[in-house]
Structure 1
Amino acid sequence: MTDLTALALDALIFIGLAWTAWRALGRSIPIAVIPIIIGLLLAATGVLPASWGVPSKLGDQIGFIGVLLLAFTAGLETRQSAHLPSAPNAAPLPRPQALRFIASASMALLLPFVAGTLAAHYYFTGLPGWDAPKGGAWMGSLAIGLCIAVSALPVLIGIIRELGPLHRPLTQIALRIAVIDDAVLWTGLALLLLAAEGGSLLASASSATALAVGVLVALAFAGRLAQRAQAAPPVWAVWIALPVFLVAGAWASSQLGLHALLGAYFGGAMVPSAWSRRVPVERLGQFALIGIAPLFFGHSGLKIDGSVLGWASLQASVALLVVAVAAKLAAVIACPPSSTLSRRDALAVGALLQCKGLMEIVAATILRDKGLLSEHAFAALVTLAVLSTLLTGPFFRALVKRRATADAHGRHAV
Structure 2
Amino acid sequence: MTTTELFLIAMALIFGVPYLIWRVGRTEYFAPLVVVQIVTGILLGPGVLGAVFPEYYAFVFPPPVIQALNGIAWWAVMAFVWTAGLELDLGEAWTQRRESGLVAGLALGVPLLAGAAAGIALLAWGDGWLGVQGTHWQFVLGVGMACAVTALPILILFMVKLDILRTPLGQRVLRYASLDDIAIWAVLALILIDFERIGRQCVFLLAFVPVAIGFRALMRRVPEIDRWYIALIWLALCGLGADWAGLHYMVGAFLAGVVTDRQWFDEGRLELLRQHLLLLVMPVFFLSTGLRTTWDVGGVAVFGAAALLLVASVAGKLAGVHLAGRLLRWPPGEASVIGWLLQTKALIMIIFANVLLDKALISNATFTALLLMAVGSTMLTIPQVNPKLRALRHGATGTGDAVPARTAPARRASARRA
TM-score (norm 2): 0.84
Alignment partner of 1:40 is 2:65: no
Aligned mates of 1:167, 1:271 — CA distance in 2 = 22
Tell me the CA shift for residue 126 of structure 1: 3.0
Aligned mates of 1:234, 1:315 — CA distance in 2 = 54
Aligned mates of 1:216, 1:288 — CA distance in 2 = 27
- Pick aligned residue for 2:269 from 280, 285, 302: 280
Tell me the CA shift for residue 383 of structure 1: 0.5
**Most deviating of 374-383 and 44-53:** 44-53
- Pick aligned residue for 1:217 from 188, 203, 209: 209
Letter of the 1:71 partner, please give it: V
Alignment partner of 1:22 is 2:32: no
Tell me the CA shift for residue 300 of structure 1: 1.1
User: Structure 1 residues 407 and 240, CA, compared in 2 at 3 Å: closer, same or farther?
Assistant: closer
Structure 1 contact 148–324 (Cα < 8 Å) conserved: yes
Aligned mates of 1:398, 1:127 — CA distance in 2 = 41
Structure 1 contact 320–384 (Cα < 8 Å) conserved: yes
User: Structure 1 residues 166 and 295, CA, compared in 2 at 3 Å: closer, same or farther?
Assistant: closer
Q: Deviation string for 1:7-31 (max 9, x for gaps)? A: 2122111223323433442643222
The answer for the alignment partner of 2:415 in structure 1 is none
Structure 1 contact 104–337 (Cα < 8 Å) conserved: no
- Pick aligned residue for 1:71 from 54, 77, 81: 81
Unaligned runs of 5+ in 1: 82-91, 409-414
Tell me the CA shift for residue 93 of structure 1: 8.3
Aligned mates of 2:13, 2:192 — CA distance in 1 = 33
TM-score (norm 1): 0.85
Aligned mates of 2:379, 2:228 — CA distance in 1 = 35
Alignment partner of 1:49 is 2:49: no
User: Structure 1 residues 171 and 214, CA, compared in 2 at 3 Å: closer, same or farther?
Assistant: closer
Alignment partner of 1:100 is 2:99: yes
User: Structure 1 residues 94 and 110, CA, compared in 2 at 3 Å: closer, same or farther?
Assistant: closer
Tell me the CA shift for residue 265 of structure 1: 1.3
Letter of the 2:82 partner, please give it: F
Tell me the CA shift for residue 324 of structure 1: 0.7
The answer for the alignment partner of 1:290 in structure 2 is 279
Structure 1 contact 109–181 (Cα < 8 Å) conserved: yes
Letter of the 2:49 partner, please give it: T
Tell me the CA shift for residue 401 of structure 1: 4.0
- Pick aligned residue for 1:348 from 337, 347, 357: 337
Aligned mates of 2:378, 2:349 — CA distance in 1 = 10
Tell me the CA shift for residue 226 of structure 1: 5.6
Tell me the CA shift for residue 211 of structure 1: 6.6
**Most deviating of 212-221 and 380-389:** 212-221
Letter of the 2:319 partner, please give it: A
Structure 1 contact 355–389 (Cα < 8 Å) conserved: yes
Alignment partner of 1:200 is 2:196: yes
Structure 2 contact 85–255 (Cα < 8 Å) conserved: yes
Letter of the 1:391 partner, please give it: L
Unaligned runs of 5+ in 2: 398-418
User: Structure 1 residues 325 and 4, CA, compared in 2 at 3 Å: closer, same or farther?
Assistant: same
Tell me the CA shift for residue 212 of structure 1: 4.2
User: Structure 1 residues 343 and 330, CA, compared in 2 at 3 Å: closer, same or farther?
Assistant: farther
Sequence identity of aligned pairs in percent? Answer: 30
Letter of the 1:2 partner, please give it: T
Counting only pairs closer than 5 Å after superposition, residues 260-409 of structure 1 correspond to structure 2 as 260-277=249-266, 280-308=269-297, 310-336=299-325, 339=328, 341-403=330-392
The answer for the alignment partner of 1:412 in structure 2 is none
User: Structure 1 residues 177 and 364, CA, compared in 2 at 3 Å: closer, same or farther?
Assistant: same
Structure 1 contact 76–276 (Cα < 8 Å) conserved: no
Structure 2 contact 146–352 (Cα < 8 Å) conserved: yes
Aligned mates of 2:147, 2:164 — CA distance in 1 = 29
Aligned mates of 1:357, 1:113 — CA distance in 2 = 17
Structure 1 contact 153–175 (Cα < 8 Å) conserved: yes
Letter of the 1:5 partner, please give it: E
Tell me the CA shift for residue 309 of structure 1: 6.2
Structure 1 contact 40–304 (Cα < 8 Å) conserved: yes
**Most deviating of 365-374 and 18-27:** 18-27
Q: Deviation string for 1:267-325 (max 9, x for gaps)? A: 11112344234782222222222211211221211221244562321222112111111
Structure 1 contact 151–356 (Cα < 8 Å) conserved: yes
Alignment partner of 1:252 is 2:248: no
Aligned mates of 1:344, 1:5 — CA distance in 2 = 54
User: Structure 1 residues 313 and 100, CA, compared in 2 at 3 Å: closer, same or farther?
Assistant: same
User: Structure 1 residues 170 and 340, CA, compared in 2 at 3 Å: closer, same or farther?
Assistant: farther
**Most deviating of 270-279 and 26-35:** 270-279
Q: Deviation string for 1:164-192 (max 9, x for gaps)? A: 14994433322221111112211211121
Q: Secondary structure at the match of 2:379?
A: helix
Aligned mates of 2:245, 2:396 — CA distance in 1 = 55
Letter of the 1:292 partner, please give it: V
Structure 1 contact 147–360 (Cα < 8 Å) conserved: yes
Aligned mates of 1:223, 1:72 — CA distance in 2 = 15
